[in-house]
Structure 1
């Protein structure tokens, strides 16, 4: 039995047949991270038994059988993959089922398409998707290629009794295929050369209005994109490695810049990608990736009614991906355990390419929200426990921060590479997020030959605590450029100074009143003590397809008395909240589920209500931070340890994010609390005393914000 971080089990046919079923089952269970459901375990046993019967007929062939293969960087698993006589069979099992469902057929076809589109050693192969409903009493009789001339057989269906014959028919129909590379299981991820229509729609037609709308005149996104593309071209010409740090006020279009660079670099004005010039946009923000992908995919389907939504999602995801999956794909290639604190590639786990070396196939990687990359401690603790998207990929002594590892990953290329870091100032919102200083430490200490291009704004206090100049003073490879700063908010297209206002408000800066007076006519901001009033104001404001929603910090706790619930975690919930129309109760427009800073960072609404709870309170022109104990009281988080100082920073940044999500206006609701007492003189609700809220309300009102 062979072990691989890409699957739960794989081996050649002879070894598979000689191994006991229960041993294979135990091996799979041991490699699975988490507790597999009983139904999953039963399915595995059934699949092993069925495949023993199939493989026995071909025991003299040089094939491979793979259980639970993880399609690199997509987070999907194929139940069984059979590499036989040069053909790739993708098998999706529905154990115990006797009927065929269209959704199940679509699922196995998706696997085949994902391999064709993303898996380098599958791109020139015949791929056969087969749905096996084990109790189904019939089998497909027609075997033919799909009408798209893509090397994929139209999906086949069968029961367990007909599977062997069905595979034999396919092999009879397509004989004499050349053997599949023995490195198939560790094949690099490589997008196929097809245009991403949804992404083109975004850039050419600006049709995904909920994400791209803006009316600012003096935006500099085009100049920034041009500058980055020049850095990329120079890196290619000089065969060197480079990194760009792009700063921007909240809503300035950093995400759009990243997406545009990815598309422009990959296609360079052509209908097909330029070979070996690819770029990929990566984000650690799950809701952002999910919402962007779904919005672009839905938009594409509207323009192409014959296209399936799953196809559109797949096309979009070629250039928009989760950074964790990129990271974990590189982790699969290292020697484990790490020796002497030095990362090395294990040649038995990775295939070396002529120019990419052991790195990923893209020359350019765009990391959105780079300030949120993990500290060394958080990443090391995570890998020590194991658990990277399904496999027990444990690295007990990982030596790097996430930023350092991501640079290391691009540094594995033999030729040239460029990293683009999109940086939001003061937007680290989770424990273990390292901030931008960690990227600079990594460059100084481990990658001194990399060329560094940074925005002058990176030296300001909200980035690396204002220590960037000091950190870079001995680095001779630094170039500063104003072109790498986006100073105009596209999100708040009627109030470019919103981000400056919020910064002053949170800093108790006297300029807050002046800026508020400058923007209030174009960008309304109001105060209220009542959620019903806030909802009425929002409903009166929005028109047509405009979106509104309620926002709270993740440390908020006493919102239920106000008839507000927290949007459940999970990317699918964020997709519904941001994209479903106002007729759907899952939509943000219903004003029932409030989203946190985790779910809305990087995204936007037209009008928002920020529900300000007692977790962050104003007292004597200073913020005080509290966490609810889950029962009966708030506990102040005093800055007496480094961890609590860090927590205070995250809590302040949470409100910075929440207060900059609206494009057109917002209302801030600071509850009155509950002043009522019982007959015996005790407060009815000691967790919501008026004093927890009043001074915060008074401070915001003193800036000039009008109450309604």
Structure 2
């Protein structure tokens, strides 16, 4: 029996083969229209936006009446400790409430501490005294799906709004940054990722239960003492309150962007990604369709084609490249990267060396006449702007060829057709021999023996003025301008670019909006304060935070950040180990440099500022022998400052020559961490 189900929770359609297995030919056809196999549910799946795939499923099932499912794989158990109306909550005595909380908490697989129990009792006693409309729903310890166990203390839910309450048993209103950012982060993620919250007003409130007479607004968070919580809620609920479906809200789609490591795990298992609204709202889905069209064109017409996708840091270039390669119906596709850190981290995470191939090894095999079996018609070249020039290649291989020269020759000699996709990051050349950019690819194509055809975004037209450009395939989606790494659009990338370029006036214009949207930018001269902040904000979650710094080590090692060459290795364990592992980034005892984090990401990096780039006479004074070296230093800090998903903390050592750096950070709106 063959049938399909519409999965409304995941905005997709599922194809089931009950009692039979699809033939190899059918499997080929399904993969061709981008259906993915879900091992857990034993079905084939695609998103509703994949119209070709949806039409294929419906036609194959001959338009049988679909069955529906409301299951949501990310919520196999209760994702809350208590959920009910205010009316019923008011009927709960403390012992009954605590018993329900403890029973449901067991499903989280976490150790229940005495501190947590005391916190529940404390919040119960505060809320018991609060008068609210009985139709409001109240939820305790709601686990945010895909977020590694992050849980707001309490949520108040109505048709019109969600109020996020975070309770702290504090007797002082000092050093609240971590607490404020914690509740602000919950609100930000509900607004950005939680489908049933999309039309509601979200209000974050930090409640200091042991304090008196506090009522302030810091950033976008209301900070109140327990005795003034009633007044605060009365001011929020000033109009008629309408009830909403508690079950529907709890089972809502939740659409966060996975880290590149998590996405790679999903691609590797040939499973579908969670529905990612922010990805679907960018150019990436259209770019994938256009690349598929280019693949068909090149294969059917035996053409050698090269495509370029440009993008700001964190815009999803690697994500696009991986999905393109692992969504192809052919096995003759490969993802090549010269980024050792990315290769090591993904190889360790997946326990496989096949997922991402080492570009330099492929280059070496060709030069040594050992690439006879190369048969990958679809090739993704990661970080094409960092391709080695002739000088760097001669130093390594004793050949007067650039890496683009070798790739063009490899494709021409071994393939009767190809799509060579070059992913180009903006302003991320960080090593010697990587600064020739797109020019090397233009030169290599001109020296080629095949009639190469080029598909590139309009911003690269001037680089290939006398080349054959493909005009019948849409190229408008090939410049990715929206950063997906952070929780807002390109504001963070723009801020960093202005800052690194010395345009402090324009940088300062962006900082307030960045903070308002929940992206936290701090600076401090106390490394322990930065560490304490991260441990507090990300307690009991699998969020990643760690120490990163410039590779030009001079003084940081004197302040607890050893960024010397020998001390900054071991990328894989740093990213992939659990937070309690001494090798983990979360242990905060080991540093990675720009070479270890480029192409990867953290939720909150602590960035050590070195003396290789100081602010002097209203401009950056950069330690370098030449202009090229200066560009590498600027780009190193550009990479470091754009690794964070939730924000960043800049640690500036207490050295006189770095005083102006600390001052200019505060001047452009980076807030001082107390």
Q: TM-score range by the shorter chain?
A: 0.5 to 0.7
CA distance in 1 between partners of 2:569 and 2:526 (Å) = 30
Residue 436 (structure 2) pairs with residue 441 (structure 1): no
The reply on whether 1:703 has 2:655 as its aligned counterpart is no
Q: Distance in 1 between matches of 2:549 and 2:492?
A: 19
Deviation at 1:441, TM superposition (A): 1.9
**1:526·1:706 contact (CA, 8 Å) conserved in 2?**
yes
Q: CA RMSD in A?
A: 2.5
Q: Aligned residue for 1:429?
A: 430
Residue in 1 aligned with 2:514?
Answer: 519
1:204 aligned counterpart, secondary structure: coil
For residues 343-365 of structure 1, give each alpha carbon's deviation from its aligned partner in whole angstroms, at most 9, with x where no partner exists: xxxxxx77xxxxxxx57111111
Residue 243 of structure 1, CA deviation: 0.4
Could you tell me which of 630, 641, 652 is aligned with 1:659?
641
Q: For 1:123-155, what per-residue CA distance to the aligned partner results, in whole angstroms no more than 9, with x for missing partners?
A: xxxxxxxxxxxxxxxxxxxxxxxxxxxxxxxxx
TM-aligned CA deviation for residue 597 of structure 1: 0.3
Partner of 1:282: 336
The size of the alignment, in residue pairs, is 405
- Contact 1:290–1:572, Cα closer than 8 Å, also in 2: no
CA contact (8 A) 2:325 2:334 kept: yes
SS at match of 1:410: helix
Give the TM-score normalised by the residue count of structure 2: 0.57
For residue 318 of structure 1, the aligned residue among 336, 341, 354 is 354
Q: 1 CA distance for matches of 2:572 and 2:267?
A: 21
Give the Cα–Cα distance (whole angstroms) in 2 for the partners of residues 414 and 614 of structure 1: 49
**Alignment counterpart, residue 472 of structure 1, candidates 457, 464, 476:** 464
Per the TM alignment, residue 218 of structure 1 is displaced from its structure 2 partner at its CA by: 2.4
Residue 407 of structure 1: aligned partner: 408
SS in 2 for 1:225: helix
Question: SS state of the match for residue 246, structure 1?
Answer: strand
Query: Could you list the per-position Cα deviations for residues 445-472 of structure 1 after superposition, in whole angstroms to 9, with x for gaps in the alignment?
Result: 43572111112344xxxxxxxxx61x42
Paired position in structure 1 for 2:394? 380
Check the 8 A contact 2:322/2:335 in 1, yes or no.
yes
Greater Cα shift, 447-456 or 567-576: 567-576
- Conserved in 2, the CA contact under 8 Å of 1:286 and 1:571? no
**Deviation at 1:512?**
1.1
CA distance in 1 between counterparts of 2:598 and 2:614 reads 22
* 1:536-578 Cα shifts (integer Å, max 9, x gaps): 2222222410010111010132112211223866997111100
CA distance in 2, matches of 1:426, 1:262: 25
Q: Distance in 1 between matches of 2:447 and 2:598?
A: 31
Distance 1:256 1:567, change over 3 A: farther
Pairwise mapping of residues 480-499 of structure 1 onto structure 2 (< 5 A)? 481-494=475-488, 496-499=490-493
Equivalent-residue separation in structure 1 for 2:279 and 2:321 (angstroms): 19
Is contact 2:594–2:639 with CA below 8 Å preserved after alignment?
yes
Structure-2 residue corresponding to 1:529? 525
Residues of 1 paired with 2:446 and 2:511: CA distance?
Answer: 41
List per-residue Cα deviations over 1:54-74 (Å, max 9, x = no partner).
xxxxxxxxxxxxxxxxxxxxx
Deviation at 1:495, TM superposition (A): 5.0
2:321 to 258, 278, 292: 258
Correspondence for 1:501: 495
CA distance in 2, matches of 1:294, 1:614: 34
After TM superposition, which residue ranges in structure 1, 4 or more long, deviate above 6 angstroms?
Answer: none
Aligned to 2:271: 204
Q: Deviations over 1:519-544 (max 9, x none)?
A: 11210101112212221222222241
Residue equivalent to 1:5: none
Indicate if the aligned counterparts of 2:605 and 2:649 stay in contact, CA closer than 8 A: yes
Alignment of 1:160-175 (within 5 A): none
SS at match of 2:645: strand
What does the per-residue CA deviation read over 1:167-186, in whole Å, with 9 as the maximum and x for residues that have no partner? xxxxxxxxxxxxxxxxxxxx
Q: Is the 8 A contact 2:602 2:643 kept in 1?
A: yes
Alignment of 1:147-226 (within 5 A): 198=265, 200=267, 204-206=271-273, 215=278, 218-226=281-289
Q: Which residue of 2 aligns with 1:227?
A: 290
| Alpha-carbon distance, 1:412 to partner | 1.1
Give the match's secondary structure for 2:394.
Answer: helix
Q: Unpaired segments of 5 or more residues in structure 2?
A: 1-262
> Measured at CA, do residues 213 and 326 of structure 1 come closer, stay the same or move farther in structure 2, by a change above 3 Å?
farther
Q: Following TM superposition, by how much is the alpha carbon of 1:400 offset from its aligned partner in structure 2, in angstroms?
A: 1.4
Aligned equivalent of 1:330, options 328, 344, 366:
366
Q: Determine the C-alpha separation between the residues in 2 that align with 1:415 and 1:663.
A: 42
Distance change (3 Å), C-alpha of 1:613 and 1:198: closer
For the residues of structure 1 that align with 2:264 and 2:586, how far apart are their CA atoms? 29
Cα 1:435/1:592, change in 2 over 3 Å: same
Superposed displacement of residue 603, structure 1: 0.3
Deviation at 1:204, TM superposition (A): 2.9
Aligned with 2:385: secondary structure?
helix
Report the secondary structure of 2:629's partner residue: helix
Distance in 1 (alpha carbons) for counterparts of 2:340 and 2:582: 22
With the length of structure 1 as denominator, give the TM-score of the two structures.
0.54
